[in-house]
Amino acid sequence: MSGKATVHVKTVRRRTMNEIIGFRIEAAVPNQEGRVMKPIGDGDFYATKEHATSYRRPYFIAESSDHSWIDKKTMERFLSDLRWRGYDKFEFEGKYEGEPLAALMLLE
């Protein structure tokens, strides 16, 4: 089996104070079933009419545990797990610490 997975880093926040407490890597089958979310303020968002990748079931493939930061080794371990599941091509979405997520794989 050969497949393609879309990967992004999700910010994990404390529910009561909207404080960032970590990060989680998520993967999904490429799709356009989600919506682009725009912030309104105070941690609230609204869905626009623009399509985006959905990381919910049935498109959801895998997620990592929560990490205080994501480094190249953590990402490689996650991608290795996806390869074991039969996904050999990856598309990276979004940014992590202001840089495109794909740039994380170029770090030494």
Percent of the chain with pLDDT over 90: 37
Name the pTM for this structure.
0.79
Write down the residue that tokens 């880093």 correspond to. 9
43 falls within a domain: yes
- The pair of three-digit structure tokens given for residue 34, joined into one six-digit string: 């989600």
21 falls within a domain: yes
How many whole angstroms separate alpha carbon 38 and alpha carbon 31? 19
97 falls within a domain: yes
pLDDT bin (cut points 50, 70, 90) of residue 108 is: very low
How many whole angstroms separate alpha carbon 37 and alpha carbon 39? 7
Owning domain of residue 99: 3-103
16-34 pLDDT, tens per residue?
A: 777 888 899 999 999 998 8
Instruction: Indicate the number of domains in the chain.
Output: 1
108 falls within a domain: no
